[in-house]
Amino acid sequence: MAMETAPRRRREFDAIVIGGGLVGAAIAHGLQCGAGLATALLDEGDVAYRASRGNFGLVWVQSKGLGAPWYQRWTRASAAEWPALAADLAARAAGTDVGLRQPGGVHLCLSGQEFEERAARMAQMRAEQGNAAGFDYRMIGAAELRDMLPGLGPRVVGASWTPYDGHANPLRLLHALHRAFVLAGGAYVPNAGVAAEDCRAAPRDFTVVAGGAPWAAPRIVLAAGLGNAALAPRFGLAAPVRPQRGQVLVTERARELLPMPTTTIRQTQEGSLMMGDSQEEVGFDLRQKPAVMREIAARAVLSFPWIARLNILRAWSALRVMAPDGLPIYDQSERFPGAFTANCHSGVTLAGAHARLLAPMIARGALDPMLDPLSARRFDVHAAA
């Protein structure tokens, strides 16, 4: 077959998003479907590390933002946007049910010390929110918790509870975001890895070569997960993200019903239990470790002894996209206005915010001041040229 040598025609868009994981797809969805911008979504493909295909599926608020109340507010805003996102996707993506359930959630404590530490954490988060935002939570003792969660193990001494928490089917979410984007006229381009040296940046004028063709737009969003670290400097941005491994176990379907998710155990719509998820600093290493899997399963069985009876059917590991302080990073380039970056390790939880709050900001050309504390400037990094 003859190789194609002639340069392919330059394709002009209102916006380019690099990276078709949960973060890029949610933003692209918001730009194309919400803001009506002609958007190209350039995605590297199956060789990439993809947190979006290996996560746990929580839409989780209660553990987010200790010492960083702005992150708690952003997360809560996202959880509040989620029902509208789910409804929008059901309408646009041929009725795809992304499985959103927001019944509240609990963090189980297996010792008195864990309970006390959790209580202190939750109290601090409420204090940090102040009266205006508030933070609705309760520490629940063992007796009441047993009524809420039948089958709870004797080792569980209590839990923290908030009404904000929930879960969804992350693969259906990813699929629905892509499907709705394409049905609305968005250009999804697979196998289109973008190399920093193939990008040209000028204020509100960007061209990247990917998939053998040039793509141009006055706005560009770097949402390539771990790939952002290499791309960002080319656009006068910084994305100091590192991989953090997490392992997940999935059981056969259970006849018991878990009425709400916990931080590390949730029941899928189909009835399987998902158990997770570790936090391992091992670089770009996707191997699974039996010792870690044992630990995950042991804690789940202490929480709900009936889980011991279930067979584990699947297990995997995936790499989180982690900033040095664990918070998201959002920026617009000062040197090249129109270039944005978005990085986070809670892409399911934040999908509501990314599609419905962040994308309109990008369309308008300015990030809301509420995101200022989430700029990479907090690391005092100096963006490379």
Ligand X SMILES: Cc1cc2nc3c(=O)[nH]c(=O)nc-3n(C[C@H](O)[C@H](O)[C@H](O)COP(=O)(O)OP(=O)(O)OC[C@H]3O[C@@H](n4cnc5c(N)ncnc54)[C@H](O)[C@@H]3O)c2cc1C
Tell me which residues in 223-242 interact with ligand X (CB under 6 A). Answer: 223-225, 227, 231
* DSSP letter assigned to residue 9: P
- Between residues 60 and 305, which has the closer beta carbon with respect to ligand X? 60
The HSE-up count of residue 59 (CA atoms within 13 Å, CB side) is 32
User: Quick one: which of 33, 39, 44, 206 contacts ligand X (CB under 6 A)?
Assistant: 44
Least distance (Å) between residue 59 CB and ligand X = 7
Smallest distance from ligand X to CB 214, Å: 15
Closest CA to 217 of 41, 363, 359, 16: 16
Q: How far apart are CA 121 and CA 97, in angstroms?
A: 34
Please state the length of the chain. Answer: 385
Q: How far is the CB of 57 from ligand X (least distance, A)?
A: 5
Kindly tell me which residue out of 13, 37, 57, 260 binds ligand X, with binding defined by CB under 6 A: 57
Task: Give yes or no for residue 344 binding ligand X (CB under 6 A).
Answer: yes
How many whole angstroms from its chain centre is CA 35? 21
Q: What distance lies between CA 322 and its chain's CA centroid?
A: 11
Q: Does 104 bind ligand X (CB under 6 A)?
A: no
Neighbours of 111 (CB within 10 A): 12
Residue found under tokens 């870690």:
292
Instruction: Tell me which of 345, 354, 361, 362 binds ligand X, using CB under 6 A.
Output: 345
- The Cα 354–Cα 342 span in angstroms is 9
Q: Is 21 in the site for ligand X (CB under 6 A)?
A: yes
Q: Which is nearer to ligand X, 98 or 318 (CB)?
A: 318
DSSP assignment of 232-295 equals GGGGT-----EEEEEEEEEEEEPSS--SS-BSSEEE-TTSEEEE----B--SS-----HHHHHH
The footprint of ligand X on this chain (CB under 6 A) covers a number of residues equal to 43
Q: Which of 32, 39, 55, 267 binds ligand X (CB under 6 A)?
A: 55
Q: Which CB, 152 or 232, lies closer to ligand X?
A: 232
Residue 320 within binding range of ligand X, rule CB under 6 A = yes
Q: Which residue among 27, 189, 194, 323 contacts ligand X (CB under 6 A)?
A: 194
The single residue listed with the structure tokens 């018991």 is 256
Question: Which span sits near ligand X by CB under 6 A: 12-20, 85-93, 178-186, 197-205?
Answer: 12-20
Q: What is the rounded CA–CA span in Å between residue 48 and residue 29? A: 21
| C-alpha–C-alpha distance, residues 168 and 178, integer Å | 16
166 binds ligand X (CB under 6 A): no
Q: Which amino acid is at 272?
A: S
Residue 27 touches ligand X, criterion: CB under 6 A: no
**Furthest C-alpha separation in the chain:** 73
263 lies in the binding site for ligand X (CB under 6 A): no
Of residues 29, 37, 41, 50, which one binds ligand X by CB under 6 A? 50
Within 10 Å of residue 124's Cβ, how many Cβ atoms?
A: 14
Q: Of these, 15, 16, 22, 258, which contacts ligand X (CB under 6 A)?
A: 22
Q: In the bound complex, what is the minimum distance in angstroms from residue 165's beta carbon to ligand X? A: 10
Residue numbers at the binding site for ligand X (CB under 6 A) = 18-24, 42-45, 48-52, 54-58, 60, 193-194, 223-225, 227, 231, 246, 248, 276-277, 318-321, 344-349
